Amino acid sequence: MTVSSLASRVLDWEGTQTGPESVNGTGQESGGRGLRASVKGSIVFAKELLSFSYHRLTKRSSFFVPLVVYLSCGYLLDFVFRSFPGDAVSRMANAFYMLYSRDPHLASVGFVWTPLTSFADFIPLLFRDLWMPLSSHDVAGTLVSAMFMAGAAYQLERLLGGFRLDRRMRTILVATFALNPMIVFFGANGMSEALYAFFSIASTRYLFEWARSRSTRLLAYAGVMLGLGYLARNEVAVEAFVGLLVVLQQSFAKSKGTIRERALQSSMDGFLLAAPFAVCFVGWAVASYVITGIAFQQYSGNQVLVQASGFKPGSIQEILGHEAAAIMLLCPLVVPSAVAAIWLAFKRKLTTLAPVVLPAFGLAFTLAAYAKGILFPWLRYYILAIPLGYIIAGWLLSEISGASQFRGISTRKVSSTELKVRRNSLMRLPGFVVLALGLVGMPTSAYAMLDPSIGQGETVQQLGFIFHSKPTKGDLAVEHKRQAIQAIDDFITKLGLRNGSVVVDNDDSCVPEVLTSIGNPKVFVIPNDRDFQRILADPPAFGTHYLMVSVHGQAPDAISNAYPGIASGANGQATVVATFDSNSQCGTLRLLKISQEPKGSSQMNFR
Amino acid sequence: MEEREASIRLGASVDGLSHLAPEVSARTLLSTAQKKVLLGLLGALIVLLLLATNTTLIVLMAMVIFSYLASVAFRVYLFILSARRSSVEIVDDRIAAGVPADELPIYTVLIPAYREPHVIDELIDKIARFDYPTEKLDVKILVEADDTETLEVLAAREPAEQFEVVIVPVAEPRTKPKALNFGLTLARGQLVAVYDVEDDPDPLQLRRAAVAMSSLGPDVGCLQAKLTYHNQMQNIITKWFTIDYLMWFSFFLPGLGALKTLVPLGGTSNHFRTEVLRAMGAWDPYNVTEDADLGVRMYREGYVVKVLESLTYEEANSDFVNWVRQRSRWYKGYVQSLFVHLRSPIELYREIGPIKMGHMIMFVGGTPFLALANPIFWFLTFLWVLVGPGPLQSIFPAPVYYAGLICFALGNFSIYYISVASCRIAGRRELFLSSLLIPAYWVMMSIAAVKAFWQLIFTPTFWEKTVHGLHLQGNLQVSPAAAVAEGQSGPREAVGFRQDESGPSGSSSE
């Protein structure tokens, strides 16, 4: 090579660039014809957006259709009947305190209840200043439960798809699930049941898909679902534990190599499933311990409530009878399909049933807790029976129709002719039975919800007045409660109090509703405030001159504990300014004005 | 080579980029404007700290925490994206091996060797294993003129005809990219690959890259093969290092590929289109991580980098001190590249837009930043446990405090979880126990990061040379003199830490 040619080559290196035409879209064509181009561009964009959302809507119809149903029912509950469960309101109220109380801080979320529902409510509540009903009508809770319940329907649809059930079958099954009155009610009312159903179904789906495909990502998703699920409901802990056992066993059984290598692999899979759960479990316990000094308040909290109510579980026969009736009515599918599935799994040695029955262990835990007297036998605690019935039935259909053969779900080989015969003859009867039981479940669920002898009759209290032609005592109580809350709001507003004027204990069932409905919630000093104890010990020193006391509650509230006998106003420490008699489960709330320096009792009982 | 010819080539190697595109050359670390801005910021910070100590600390802390969160979240996102099929270019063995020899392009392979006489033999054997027609291979071993030991070994060995020993004239800066540039001026191939002396690439890699390049559009300027280590089971450090590379090359870089954004290259097993490389001014001889910088520059010029499914085995640093030196060099280079590309942010914004700019900052900047920020958070947590929240509360208002809490709990956990998941997805169950202990490796990273930032302030272009050949038992060919020439830390690395034998083929399991 000559030096001159070399120099030209070297120069060529420094020469013009031969890159492709602007991959990054730094086009220079935009210029003079700007307006026309941009109008044209925005039309194209709008068209694309429309077709994109249409595509999404149809692809995810198992999510969007139920969502519309739950939101519509939520609208009826929140605005027409104004009936929202106290527990839903108190979850939403906990999120509300984080944002709008006198002392907004994250720990306001409280540790007596699992926090995820409140954290989810937190997001819509951010916009509460723009639209008050988000808190006053618990629309925030409705939005959250509707999203999660619709998500549960979507996850069920995907799981049934994983069972290779054909589209029509899947659609009808998911429809009977999503429109089951119990599912609709809990999708609309803002309770944590929607989250419980969502996380249980989703973790089951991912675990099942993992068992089939061995894709580690699915295992990670299942782990995350179980971890988050635990933050929504304690029962999920049991599902996580069983899930871990399933993963350890299945991973070991299907791995190759020496015993040590197989053990390593299965513990690795076990780690990936359990780690997110462990972090949620330990993280929440540590947070609770650091802030309240008790690591597992959500367990002890519930137990205290049950014991305080004097509730005693009956004999084993009674408990079993009670549970069986509730579960059979909520989902007539569950018992026959469970029996058939267990029989089939034993007969054919099918381990694929294991990941599918995860929610059964959540239910079993509820049963045990009820028998031990730790939980009330609320009907809603059995809500998981509904998806469980569909999941097991779906698995059963896929096994007996041979549909599982397509994706290697089962270990048994079926020839293609045999498969055809099976699909034609067998699919009809079992498919029909499943569909029929699914449909029957809708009215039986409604019956269970409206029969006060099933569960604790809690849904009757919420819904009775919608169906009864003549208002019952319970229906009137709901109405009275509403009036009492309105009266308190009006009275407090009329007094024109400054922030931090009234000490109140929000443990009473109606106080959260008062706080979230009132114009200025900062008027109240509540136990979530970090200075609550100091103010309660000496209110006037902090410029607080009012106390609001619950008179009717089963246990004395924090104020009556600190100042025994003050509620009646008889001991001269305070005078009664107003009494709000709700004539309902809210009991009576009394507003007192402190007349002289009260002496706090030395045995103050703060939570 | 004539002296004049050599000097022209040398001139192009040293000054090519700084003439062609001075704005992206790291010849000067900071532009005058950058210096002014940085000094201004520093001054403003001091004034603010004096005037409003608390508020300034709060704002600083908030900025650190939110950048940290963004960087971690971006990594989790990349990990999820890496599952997409489009994230990696796959060329089957059958297809790669089946291409007739006359359809393959001439391939130039550049191998810079600086004072590494003891691995030359091994290198020549490994290159000979390439499944590529000899007449189309143009292998250039790049040796510095004063590196007599390596030259002697090469002369004694008399490598086959496809090998060419290129003597790089002695000149500053004495860096790998300068040697590569010099080699590139002589390249005959349409494609150029870069390997380190101790590499052991997949024999089909050149064929795979050639097939992939021919099927991909002209906008793909470079393919990056995956890197891993042949001595991965040697000790806990090499195991951690292997997990680190696994995450980087099998998950994070493919994730970037799936996002169609900039990919910082790893220093070896890069396959370029020669004309693209030349037109861009090739490597920046003044940048400490010329590879990562080149990846960013390629993107700015409109080219993308894709990850090629093909492994190259490298030698993992098995020694703590040596590892820290190497890692601190990488961090330093990343910061250097970041500064270079942020010299004219408006131009960068026009070239690649706000989102890709964010990607660059979160990935190129985030890598050293995360390592540096970690000890700060660990220390604060430790303090919090020790003395309680009291004194910290003043600089942690609620939102910052909670974000910090999420950072600590979720950030650390998600990266930890991804480490284990990466090993599992890659089927590397033997790395499980090491992956459980990986937080100790993060501490090592932080040490390297602190060292890097220290050096960046005082010796920005100091080149931390890595000693190779530590995996060879009883290999005493590295003379103390060579080690002294490599850096400031003296000869201790050369002899002090031989490890158990773990040959290049002995422990590799893939």
High-pLDDT (> 70) share of chain B, %: 88
Taking the C-alpha atoms of residue B400 and residue A5, their distance in angstroms, rounded to an integer, is: 63
pLDDT of residue B308: 94
Using CB atoms, pick whichever of B351, B423, B429 lies closest to residue A24: B351
Q: B301 contacts in A (CB within 8 Å)?
A: 17, 19
In DSSP notation, A462-473 reads HHHHHH-SS--H
Higher pLDDT, A474 or B8: B8
pLDDT of residue B486: 36
pLDDT of residue A480: 77
List of residues 6+ apart from A600 with CB closer than 8 A: A536, A537, A538, A562, A563
A399 band by pLDDT with thresholds 50, 70 and 90: confident
pLDDT of residue A126: 93
Q: Is B347 on the interface with A (CB under 8 A)?
A: no
Rounded to a whole number of angstroms, the distance from the CA of B458 to the nearest CA of chain A is 32
Tally of CA atoms within 13 A in the half-sphere of A101 that contains its CB: 30
Tell me the C-alpha to C-alpha distance, in Å, between residue B308 and each of A123, B108, B201, B313.
42, 18, 12, 14
Phi-psi domain of A52 (left: phi exceeds 0; alpha: psi -120 through 50; beta: other): alpha
| Structural domains of chain A, ranges and CATH numbers in brackets | 56-191 (no CATH), 192-295 (no CATH), 310-456+463-467 (no CATH), 474-594 (3.40.190)
Q: Is the pLDDT of residue A346 over 70?
A: yes
Q: Is the pLDDT of residue B73 over 70?
A: yes
B271 band by pLDDT with thresholds 50, 70 and 90: very high
Using CB atoms, pick whichever of A10, A22, A269 lies closest to residue B8: A10
A574 band by pLDDT with thresholds 50, 70 and 90: confident
Q: Is A216 on the interface with B (CB under 8 A)?
A: yes
Range scoring the smallest mean pLDDT among A371-375, B31-35, B224-228, B245-249: A371-375
pLDDT of residue A355: 87
High-pLDDT (> 90) share of chain B, %: 42
Q: Is the pLDDT of residue A153 over 70?
A: yes
Classify residue B170 as exposed, middle or buried by CB count within 10 Å of its CB (0-12, 13-18, 19+): exposed
The average pLDDT across A140-165 equals: 94
pLDDT of residue A313: 64
Q: B302 contacts in A (CB within 8 Å)?
A: 19-24
**Six token digits for residue A601:** 């009792």
The average pLDDT across B246-262 equals: 92
Q: Is the pLDDT of residue A10 over 50?
A: no
Taking the C-alpha atoms of residue B215 and residue A555, their distance in angstroms, rounded to an integer, is: 77
Q: B218 contacts in A (CB within 8 Å)?
A: 20
CB contact under 8 A, B8 and A3: yes
Q: What is the pLDDT of residues B359-374, one digit of tens each?
A: 999 999 989 998 998 8
pLDDT of residue A406: 47
Q: What is the pLDDT of residues A283-337, one digit of tens each?
A: 888 888 877 777 777 666 666 666 666 666 667 777 777 778 888 999 999 999 9
Q: What is the pLDDT of residues A223-245, one digit of tens each?
A: 999 999 999 998 999 999 999 99
Q: Of A563, A544, A212, nearest to A406 (Cα)?
A: A212
Q: Is the pLDDT of residue A488 over 50?
A: yes
Q: What is the pLDDT of residues A410-465, one digit of tens each?
A: 445 555 555 554 554 445 678 888 888 889 999 999 888 888 777 666 676 667 66
The average pLDDT across A86-99 equals: 88
The average pLDDT across A495-522 equals: 84
pLDDT of residue A243: 96
pLDDT of residue A207: 95
In DSSP notation, A439-480 reads HHHHHHHHHHHH-TTSTTSHHHHHHHHHH-SS--HHHHHHHH
A553 band by pLDDT with thresholds 50, 70 and 90: low
pLDDT of residue A13: 32
Higher pLDDT, A493 or A177: A177
Q: Is the pLDDT of residue A604 over 50?
A: no
pLDDT of residue B179: 92
A298: part of which helix (H) or strand (E)? helix A297-308
High-pLDDT (> 90) share of chain A, %: 30
B307: part of which helix (H) or strand (E)? strand B304-314
Omega prior to B173 cis, within 30 of 0: yes
pLDDT of residue B506: 30
Q: What is the pLDDT of residues B380-416, one digit of tens each?
A: 777 777 776 666 666 677 667 777 777 777 888 999 9
Length of chain B: 510
Q: Is the pLDDT of residue A12 over 60?
A: no
pLDDT of residue A14: 32
High-pLDDT (> 70) share of chain A, %: 77
pLDDT of residue A64: 92
pLDDT of residue B35: 83
How many contacts (CB atoms, under 8 Å) link A and B? 106
Question: What would you measure as the largest C-alpha separation in chain B, in angstroms?
Answer: 75
Higher pLDDT, B448 or A512: B448
Q: Is the pLDDT of residue A271 over 90?
A: yes
CB contact under 8 A, A275 and B417: yes
What does pLDDT average to over chain B? Answer: 83
Q: What is the pLDDT of residues B438-455, one digit of tens each?
A: 999 999 999 999 998 888
Range scoring the smallest mean pLDDT among A57-61, A379-383, A487-491, B169-173: A57-61
The helix, strand and coil proportions of chain A, stated in percent and rounded to the nearest 5, come to 65, 5, 30
The average pLDDT across B344-368 equals: 90
Q: A251 contacts in B (CB within 8 Å)?
A: none
3-state secondary structure A354-423: HHHCHHHHHHHHHHHHHHCCCCCCCHHHHCCHHHHHHHHHHHHHHHHHCHHHHHCCCCCCCCHHHHHHHH
pLDDT of residue A449: 86
Q: Is A286 on the interface with B (CB under 8 A)?
A: no
Rounded to a whole number of angstroms, the distance from the CA of B349 to the nearest CA of chain A is 10
pLDDT of residue A262: 94
For an interface test with A, give the residue of B429, B432, B436, B509 to mutate (most A CBs within 10 A): B429
Q: What is the pLDDT of residues A100-131, one digit of tens each?
A: 888 887 777 877 788 899 999 999 999 998 99
CB contact under 8 A, A26 and B430: no
One-letter amino acid at B359 equals H
pLDDT of residue A475: 65
Q: Is the pLDDT of residue A409 over 60?
A: no
Classify residue A5 as exposed, middle or buried by CB count within 10 Å of its CB (0-12, 13-18, 19+): exposed
Q: What is the pLDDT of residues B173-193, one digit of tens each?
A: 888 899 999 999 999 999 999
Query: What SS3 class is residue A581?
Result: strand
The average pLDDT across A555-579 equals: 77
pLDDT of residue B489: 33
Q: What is the pLDDT of residues B120-148, one digit of tens each?
A: 888 888 888 899 998 999 999 999 988 88
Tell me the C-alpha to C-alpha distance, in Å, between residue A434 and each of A113, A391, B283, B301.
37, 11, 68, 61
- Above 0.85 for ipTM, yes or no? no
Higher pLDDT, A409 or A99: A99
Map tokens 């007996």 to a residue: A400
